[in-house]
Every structure is written in C-alpha cells, then in structure tokens.
A and B are shown apart, each in its own frame.
Chain A
C-alpha cells in the first residue's frame, strides 16, 4: 500500500470514530455508532498489518488472540455496578500500551521512519516521544490507584502528608528537566528515568483524592489516555492516532467539567485532594429535631393514591441491589394509574451516566429516566418524591444556606413536591458531611430500613 493510500485509510478510520461518538447523542443511534467504531478500528489495524514491513503475522495473531479473549471475557462478565473499576483498569492499559509503544519506537526508530540523516532520533520526535511516554506513565499509575480506590482494595480516604503539594511540584519540575535533557541527548538513562518518575507522580497525584471525587478522576484519566495517544501519534507521525487522541482527550475533559459542576467543586480543588473520604462527616453536628417515620404500608398507601411519583435514586440503591425491586414497585404503581418517572442527578452513580446504565439494566425504559434540568421544574407539581440511596443531591441547604459546604451545588428540588418519602438506614449525613434539612421537613416521611428490604415490603403492600 502506498503511503498516500495508508493515510487515506487512516482518515476513513478517524471519520468512523467521530461517527461512533456522534451516535451516542441518542440511544437509538448509539448501537449503530458502536459498529462504526468497530469498523474504524478494523480498518486501522488491517491497513497497518498489510504494510510490507510487517511480516511477523504469528506474533501479531497470538497477541491479538490473547488480548482479545481476555478483553471479551471481562466485558461479558463484568457487573454493571463495577463499570467504574473496569473503565479505570482499561485506562491504565492504554497508558501502559502508550509507554510500551514509545519504548519500542525508541529502540527501533528506523521502523517508524523518524530518524534524521545521521540515523538518530529526530529532535521533534524526541520531544513528542517524551511527552507521550510521560503522560502515558501517569495515566497508567494514576488509573491503578483509582482502580484500587473504586474496588475498595485501598481505602477511599484521602492520603495526605505535610508538604505533599511541594513534593509533587518538585517532581513535576524534575520530569520537565528530564524531558529537556532527553531532547538534547536521547540516552536510555534519561528515557527510563523520566518514565519511572512519571509512574511515581501518577501514584502521588491520585492518592490524596477522596472516594467521593472519583467520578472526576476517572473522567480526567480518560482525558489523559487520549492525550497520551495523541503524543504517541505525533511521535509516530500517524494521523489516525492524533485525531483519536484529540477526540478522547476533549471527551474526558468535558466529562470532568460536567462532574465538577454537578458536585459544585472546582477542578483545581479536586486535583489538590484531601476531600471526601469514606468516613467524611463523622464530626458533623447532628440535630435532635423530630422526624416523622413511616412504615412500608404507609408508603404504599401514599404512593398508590398519588397521581405522580418521581423516584430519586442514588448510589445506595445499587449498593443494596434494589434496582429490580424499584422497577417492580414502579410497575405496580403504574397498574394503579400512577405516573412514575426517575430523576437522575449527574453524580447519582460513581461515574458519569452510571445510574442510567443501572436503571437500563433493570429494564427501566430510558424515556422515564430524566436529567436534573429536565425534571426539576416538575417537582412542584409532583405528589410524591421517593428518595432512595441518595442524600446530598436532595439537600435544600445547597439553595438556601450560603454558608453550607454544598452551597450552589445543583440539587434535585424534591422538597417542592407535596410529599417526600426518604428511604434511609439512619439520619447519618452523606459525603459532604452535613445534615439534610429535608429529614425534618413537615412533608417528609422517613422510611428507616435497608433500601431493598423496604422496597420489597412496599411491593408486597401494593
């Protein structure tokens, strides 16, 4: 294949990737979009393999077979609640692959045609390679920490120590220095030193970030994996990689922005860390105000006689594995002529869009799951809000109390509905560590129980 034909095939692959992302604008077009993505990948791989310099087909097939089967088996077995872990693990693989490819190109630059007249690595390629390998290494080790925190292998609590930011800043400067030195003298010492230190800074950057902020971090690492691919694309002078890297990089950046906005946190403060551990809020002041508690029968009676019910799910729903019970409850209510919808806060799950996947898995039609902007104005005309496994995202103090740590955070205005049913084990605060005024409101009835048990009892009573 001539160089022009190859470049043209890569262009087609890139266009197909753009169409794959474009398909995700609606669930109807998304499946076709995914097929475009697969086609694009097949074109990119085949175009590369038919290159006359590529002759070692057995090696390639064996590697594809091993990797492909492992990937497929994992993809078919993974539980939907574990998606954030899976995505973090996949990010780490992209990062490591970027490092390996950079190293391969470093040891055999002739294969990629990136040498100058004297047979050494070109200056521009050195800089691009250094950036690609550093970002790749940070993506790899950072994603491993994110995986560990999401999986619960390591504590979700922020790990902080004195002078942390100063240490990180110094290491960052050392890496910059090494990139400059590698550009001037591409010796293996500088190459591996900067790779190793970049691995180290990846760990250090993510350990101070608490479990609650993981949705931002997973999105950010998604973005990094894209920039790493683009860096390698520049090194190898490959347009398909450059374009795809840019697409993925901007996608991850946008998702990080959306998550930060939904949590009312600035990106900088998330990155600096120290917020939102597992036991956050242990010191929160509890008030002794009276609450109204109810039973499953009460809840069933109230919802059966309502004309509209909005279910507000949070991650606690998934922890209790109550999605299917909730859907069953919704089905029963619909039989009674009640209009049932779901209100999804952007951070309801543990990664962007996670709650929508969990509800879809439980056979909830996607038209019934509405985003915050779509449903918020409807709460005032809603008879019953059924909050299950969520807390901070319904706290009205975000709107009313400028002193509150969550002041200004976009919340679901469930307090405006006629009645609020709140399923919760106790009155303990959420991640933000603050009391929720909603518990004590006149129109709120607390249903103290495990989420799944309570919903099952309500289904029985309906």
Chain B
C-alpha cells in the first residue's frame, strides 16, 4: 500500500484542536470548585493569546486599515492579559491555610 505523501495541514490542526479539547476536559474537571472563579479569570487571560494575531497585523511598517485594527486589538487583549493575570494573582494570594 502506498503511503499518502501529503496530508492537508488543516487535518493536523483539527487533530490538535480535538486533542486539546480532551486535555481541557480532564484538566478542568480536576480543578477544585473553590478555585472556579480564579479559573475563569485565568482562562480569560490566556484566551487573549489572540494578541499574537493582532501583533502580526500591527507589525508592518506601512499604515493600513489592517494595522489600525491590529493596534486596537493589541490594546484590548493587553487589558485582558494584564488584568486577568493580575486579578487571578490577587485572588489566589487570599487563599490561606489554617494558622
């Protein structure tokens, strides 16, 4: 049997996506309910990794509509990244053990 020489890269990405959903499923079920609020704020922060798309858009030297949109998107995502991690850290610092 001849082995297919090329697989559509989309299939690779889809495989990664499906596997990541399973990873997410098992990891999130292991999160203690007491930390569900920090879970939400930290997922908020990491979903702002969408900033990488914005950086590419704002990257070119010439000013274009695309660049302006990228600039705005970097600002929005940065609010989330800095705000999300900072508020998570603030909450987690409150969880103390019995003295």
Q: Is A335 an interface residue (CB 8 A)?
A: no
Q: Are B94 and A238 in contact (CB under 8 A)?
A: no
Q: Is A361 an interface residue (CB 8 A)?
A: yes
Partner of A38, one of B30, B54, B85, B87: B85
Partner of A71, one of B33, B47, B81, B97: B81
Chain A residue, CB-CB nearest to B46: A17
- In the complex the two chains form, what is the Cα distance from A250 to B23 in whole Å? 9
Interface of chain B: mostly helix, strand, loop or mixed? helix
The residues of A that contact B56 with a CB separation of less than 8 Å are 48, 51, 53-54, 111-112, 236
Given known A24-B38, A97-B51, A108-B66, contact A31–B81 (CB-CB < 8 A): no
Interface of chain A: mostly helix, strand, loop or mixed? helix
Chain B residue, CB-CB nearest to A61: B74
The residues of B that contact A380 with a CB separation of less than 8 Å are none
Partner of B24, one of A100, A124, A250: A250
> B37-52 vs A: 1/0 string, CB under 8 Å?
1111111111111111
Q: Are A107 and B60 in contact (CB under 8 A)?
A: no
Shortest A312–chain B CB gap in Å is 16
Partner of A232, one of B50, B55, B85: B50
Given known A30-B92, A63-B78, contact A100–B13 (CB-CB < 8 A): no
Chain B residue, CB-CB nearest to A226: B47
Q: Are A91 and B95 in contact (CB under 8 A)?
A: no
Total interface residues on A, CB under 8 Å, equals 114
- In the complex the two chains form, what is the Cα distance from A361 to B54 in whole Å? 36
- In the complex the two chains form, what is the Cα distance from A251 to B73 in whole Å? 24
Q: Are B47 and A55 in contact (CB under 8 A)?
A: no
Shortest B97–chain A CB gap in Å is 6
Shortest B73–chain A CB gap in Å is 4
Q: Is A212 an interface residue (CB 8 A)?
A: no
- In the complex the two chains form, what is the Cα distance from A371 to B35 in whole Å? 12
The residues of A that contact B20 with a CB separation of less than 8 Å are 14, 242-243, 246-247
Q: Are A107 and B66 in contact (CB under 8 A)?
A: yes
Given known A246-B20, A353-B33, contact A31–B13 (CB-CB < 8 A): no
The residues of B that contact A455 with a CB separation of less than 8 Å are none
Q: Is A234 an interface residue (CB 8 A)?
A: yes
Chain B residue, CB-CB nearest to A247: B24
Q: Is A20 an interface residue (CB 8 A)?
A: yes
Q: Are A352 and B30 in contact (CB under 8 A)?
A: no
Question: Known contacts A33-B42, A34-B42; can you find 9 more A-B pairs with CB under 8 A?
Answer: A20-B42, A53-B56, A60-B74, A63-B72, A67-B75, A71-B81, A86-B83, A100-B73, A236-B52
Enumerate chain B interface residues (CB-CB to A < 8 A): 9-10, 13, 16-18, 20-21, 23-25, 27-61, 64-67, 69-99
Cross-chain pairs A/B with CB under 8 angstroms, 13 sampled = A24-B38, A26-B32, A63-B74, A66-B78, A71-B82, A83-B37, A93-B48, A111-B66, A232-B50, A238-B52, A250-B24, A353-B34, A360-B94
